[in-house]
Amino acid sequence: MRESEHSPCILGIESSCDETSAAILQGFDVHSHIVYSQMIHKKYGGVVPELASRAHEHAISQVVDAAFEASGKKPEDIDAVAATYGPGLMGALLVGLNFAKGFALAADIPLIGVNHLEAHLYASMLEFPELKTPYLCLLVSGGHSMLVDVSGIRDFTILGNTRDDAAGESFDKVARLLDIGYPGGPQIDALSDSGDPRAIAFPRSLLEPDSLDFSFSGMKTAVLNHVRKQAQLSEQDKADIAAAFQEAVVDVLKEKLRRAVKRSGHKRIVLAGGVAANRRLRAELKKMAEKMDLQLFYPPLEYCTDNAAMIAATAVLYHREGLFSDMNIVAIPNLKLA
Ligand code: KG4
Ligand code: ZN
């Protein structure tokens, strides 16, 4: 059943990296969702912090206005305003958080500061509002690779964490080596269709036998060494490298998730973060879930990568518990999940 009119109406804002996004939700019903992806970083092959904050400043009012227009809601319909306060780029976070503070003051409504990582954990609730905790979440994004035991709101245990390059970061770096564009994950995902995943045997870094941590920097270096040995890369070589690297990352994620399921005993598995958009990962985990008799949830593609709908959804949960933020809340670039 969908949320009723009595559920809080939330304006959510996300500006932690290179997406300026606003969404208006009534409960978990998304009335509007606008994402402005900053294209300026493409030519640098990565996000340039100073350019990101400037672009957020430029876009924020228009993005929020567009969210209101698309939703049919008015500012006076909003019960609370939520914004990411970390982790992320300081200047970028400040734009969204300060905008939300201004809105909360002007409309005289509560402010809810949201941890961006926590929002990724709940993004599947936008598609499955009935999804209940506890569950095991594999959170794989540009900045993090984590396995999290989610018991409830603000109640998590981190089972495995990022040791060096995050999963998405390794996709981005390999894509840069292949000169196929930024962000790398979607490019490698697409290019892999025409490559052979068995063409090159890249290593699978699994760390210690009992470890649920992730390490992708060695795998990225293996690609670098392979590329350096080639005089020239044909389009087919690039596709084979992309497919073989993607396969190696997916194998590692699958094995770590399998270990975490065995250890935690969870039957509900939730995928989250930008890398959760990867088609090969989704297909392989679906097979694994069937084999191990697990329920697998993943958000629609638009809610895997950074978006304000997941920020507003987290605020819906906080609003229910009366968890509001002080106006003095500050942006915390290295904010942790737990
Ligand atoms: O969650 P997200 O939007 O931002 C962070 O919080 O970091 O994740 C962005 C990351 C990027 O590294 C991007 O390359 C990766 O997610 N990504 C993918 C795919 N789509 C986005 N990686 C693999 N396959 C994809 N289809
Ligand atoms: Zn993110």
Whole-number pLDDT of residue 6:
79
What pTM value is reported for the model?
0.95
pLDDT block averages, 10 residues each, the chain of length 338: 71 96 98 92 82 94 98 97 98 98 98 98 96 97 97 94 96 95 94 98 94 97 96 96 98 98 97 98 98 97 97 97 97 96
Instruction: Please report the pLDDT score of residue 2 as a whole number.
Output: 47
Q: Which two tokens stand for residue 258?
A: 């399998």
Q: For residue 241, how many other CB atoms are within 10 A of its CB? A: 26
> What local confidence, expressed as pLDDT, does residue 234 receive?
97
Going by the DSSP 8-state scheme, the letter that residue 214 receives in this structure is: B
pLDDT at 5: 56
Ligand 1 binding residues, C-beta < 6 A = 17, 141-143, 168-169, 171-172, 183-186, 189, 273-275, 277-278, 305-306
Structure-token match 């606008």, residue found: 34
- CB count within 10 Å of CB 70 equals 15
Instruction: State the pLDDT at residue 182.
Output: 85
The residues near 92 (Cβ < 8 Å, ≥ 6 apart) are 15, 16, 17, 18, 49, 52, 53, 56
Residue having the nearest C-alpha atom to atom 23 of ligand 1: 185
The token pair at 326 is 């002080």
Which numbered atom of ligand 1 lies nearest the CA of 277? 26
* Pair 18, 25: CB distance under 8 Å: no
Burial of 202 (0-12, 13-18, 19+ CB in 10 A): buried
Q: How far apart are CA 178 and CA 170, in angstroms?
A: 12
Pocket test for ligand 1, best of 165, 275, 302, 337 (most atoms within 8 A of CB): 275
With the most atoms of ligand 1 within 8 angstroms of its CB, the residue from 146, 220, 284, 305 to mutate is: 305
